[in-house]
Amino acid sequence: MNNLPVERRRWLKVRIALLGLLLAGYAGRVLLRAYSVQIAEAPVIREHVQRLQTRNVRLSPKRGTIYDRHGAELAVSVDVDSVTANPRELRAAGRDPLATAQQLASVIPGLDVETVTERLRGDRAFAFIKRHVTPQQGAAVERLAIPGVRLEQEARRFYPNRELAAHVLGFANIDGEGIEGIELFMEDSLRGPEREFEAVRDRRGRVVYSDHLLDSTTQRGQDITLTIDKTIQHIAERELALAVQTFEARAGHVVVMDPNTGEILALANYPTFDPNAPGRFDVGARRNRAVTDRFEPGSTVKPFTVAGALAAGTIRANQVFDCGDGQMSVDEENTIRDSHRYTSLTPAQIIAFSSNIGTARIAATMGRSGLYRAMRRFGFGEQTGLPLPGETGGVLRHYRRWYEMDAATISFGQGMSVTSVQLATAMGAIANGGRLMRPTLVRRVHDADGALVDDNLPQVRRQVIPTATARLVADMMTAVTGPGGTGIEAAIDGYLVAGKTGTAQKADYVTGGYAEDQWLASFVGFVPAESPRLVISVVIDEPLIAHAGGIVAGPVFRRVGEATLRHLGVPPNGGGQALAEHAARLRQARREARIAAREAARAARDGSAVGAEARSEGDDVDGEEGVVAARNAYAGTPQPGPAVTRREPREDETLVPDVRGMSARAALITLHRAGLVPRFEGSGVVMTQEPAPGAFGTLGAAVRVVMQRPRFDVDEAIEGDDTGTVASAQGVAGVPAGRTP
């Protein structure tokens, strides 16, 4: 380099210096960038990388289980697969959205190709293709191995008993949110708190959970134990459906309650629905009528009026009341009538004979304010606090807003409205010694580990009447189901039953009066009367074939009570001889009631009582208590057969009527009026019957009725109340199903 010219050496040094500076600058820039990345911008970069590698996942705990009082599962959550897709991943893999949608539709029946194609064309990283697929469909999707399409597990609500207790349970939607019933009311407990986690994603975008994370997400919502008894619920639903179908009613509801605790053992509605597929049923079928529907209770309120007056000291138990020989004028325009012309009755007789006038006389001793306070103390006009959505408190206007007639009519159940749960709760106060209990459906709440979170102990809202008064009224009510009582069909062999029938005309909101052809039949009572275990309220809405509470609702009470008492192991009253005597008395009373109805029909047939008024046992029509006009007999009059002798029937016998040519409804009424039970075969009109018309049949015996479709319309419209036993399940085959509301 020393041999180089000076000028050249100088230029070379400059070049080396410039190169050094250049290298130093580059190195400085690299160091500066390294500093920026590693130190200054490190948090931002780490956050960006974390976003690429992780995904925020919001997980809800599995919904809690609902049990009956004995631990039987009523509502559970099961794991099912849902088909999802990542449209971005599909696009990166070069998949055509339309072809992919068609491929998926080939293994998932009912999949809308157009909708799925639109979702796959989106710019989102996640889209549902089909939720809650079957295991077979899920396996078929996996076999397709489509990039970006995968299965994700979800929890689906499942009701293993289908329609059982549907209105109590309600249902949850596809996202696991409670929509109706206990599922909605206890949503916070069943659902549990949501948790948000940060999960790692693999190179295909799939979420990978760590073992620790999986352990923390297995938490469940709280479990609910109801007061419902699955067996009693089944009994109530079965008997209610039979009654609604037999009497061609619009709807019905039954409440079974333990009067000592307020626990509801069964709450049944008809029509009903399957909570596994609620969308297949109309809104009317899903309505919990026992809680949301209010109705005029009619004569079932009379015991509460009597109890209120006895508790207030305005009447005595042995006091006699003037019943006006069957009618009483309230004012110049309004008159109250009874079915029979009673001159004077005691409180016990007023309940037994269901006297409107007597009840109004008793109410008058309390005055308007006294009657209002008595009804309010029994819980009328306010919600019961039942843990179900949509409960109504009924209607009981303040006494300052009553008209002159209201003080009388409210005393026997007109001009006010109640729900089935209210009626059962109020009757429970008479049954348990005067304590108004808070009705409950939720017995206990446990967390996922089984620890007790809440224990709903029985709650006494208030002492409505003294214990002695409650026992006195309960004793009065036993006459209703005894010989000659309007509720003889509700009597249970071997047990003393206290109850009250009710038959009310429904309000006509167009005219402002009462509908001529729309009735509501009811019976509410408790058993055993001396040591009550059950309160049962039965309401049948708009029955067509008959409408008296004792005839329509009474047998439902009896059959539900009989089966439930056996299930609970409640022993009958007394010893073997006492049981036999009690059963014999009930059979004799029912026989006499049917004979009385038969004699009334015979008198009408002979023309000796045309236009007269005859009363059938079991009639209890509010406003016109039990009055039924006798009619000329037409179809159904017994006609002697060719080989039938003309001797008089024995005490336990009846003449078999001629039901040929009748509809199922007409035949049912006619045979029941004669004390016989039909066994229908086929459908249409009656073609043949066995035994033959005019033969002698034992009371309560079966008559085989063969039906065929007619070539013309036959519809015998027979009205009125019958006093026979409601047809058995076999006898319902020829009766059209109840109307859909």
Residues that are catalytic: 299
Alpha carbon distance 167, 293 (integer Å): 13
Alpha carbon distance 545, 550 (integer Å): 14
Tokens of 316: 């005595």
Alpha carbon distance 268, 538 (integer Å): 10
Helices marked H in 73-150 = 87-92, 97-105, 113-120, 135-144
Which DSSP symbol is given to 628?
A: E
Hunting for tokens 């016989």 — which residue is that? 676
- Integer CA distances (angstroms), 587 to 550, 593, 730, in order: 16, 10, 22
Omega cis (within 30) before 271: yes
Contacts (Cβ under 8 Å, ≥6 apart) of 587? none
State the helix-helix crossing angle for 554-568 and 230-246, rounded to 10 degrees: 160
Alpha carbon distance 626, 353 (integer Å): 10
Strands 73-85 and 66-67: antiparallel
Contact 479, 617 (CB under 8 A): no
State the helix-helix crossing angle for 664-673 and 576-606, rounded to 10 degrees: 110
Alpha carbon distance 331, 349 (integer Å): 25
Long-range contacts, 391-397 (Cβ 8 Å, 24+): 391/291, 391/292, 391/419, 391/421, 392/291, 392/292, 392/293, 392/294, 392/419, 393/422, 394/294, 394/418, 394/419, 394/422, 395/294, 396/372
Identify the CA nearest to 219 among candidates 338, 86, 63, 349.
63
Identify the CA nearest to 267 among candidates 559, 558, 533, 536.
536
Contact 266, 734 (CB under 8 A): no
Contacts (Cβ under 8 Å, ≥6 apart) of 240? 252, 253, 254, 268, 269, 270, 538, 556
Taken in order 395, 400, 405, 411, the sign of the CA dihedral is positive
Tokens of 77: 């959550």
Taken in order 689, 690, 695, 701, the sign of the CA dihedral is negative
Alpha carbon distance 488, 562 (integer Å): 14
Alpha carbon distance 385, 393 (integer Å): 9
Hunting for tokens 């006010």 — which residue is that? 416
Alpha carbon distance 348, 355 (integer Å): 10
Alpha carbon distance 235, 538 (integer Å): 13
Tokens of 215: 């352990």
Count of C-beta atoms within a 10 Å radius of residue 304? 28
